[in-house]
Amino acid sequence: MASPSNDTIFGKILRGEIPCDQVYADDQCLAFRDVQPQAPVHLLVIPRQSISDLAQADGQHQALLGHLLLVAAKVAQQEGLGSWRTVINTGAEAGQTVFHLHLHVIGGRPLAWPPG
């Protein structure tokens, strides 16, 4: 079983125990550059609230989920992207490696489909 999301690397980043290259922050989320970028622009948007993945979200998270998507668009535009991909991996088989809900904002080069 995955560890609680506040014990992940993202929990440590949120607590200031591990530095990040921050591009946006507010009272609900934090956005920063991915340390293993898959494109010229690869940002992560993470909620401050501890949610392990999208499958664990429910109706009480509706406003937060909408906020995360709006922040994803904001940071993409802030980085000068006219088009980008927003990805949420849910579960290990889908490629989730950190079990704290997060959105990938990827762009700056042509992106193929399917991704792989």
The whole-angstrom separation of Cα 80 and Cα 45 is 17
d(CA 116, CA 108): 18
Active site residues: 102
Residue corresponding to tokens 């530095």: 19
DSSP conformation letters of 4-35: PGGGSHHHHHHTTSS---EEEE-SSEEEEE-S
Residues 92-109 as b or e (16 or more Cβ within 10 Å = b): eeeebebbbbbbbbbbbe
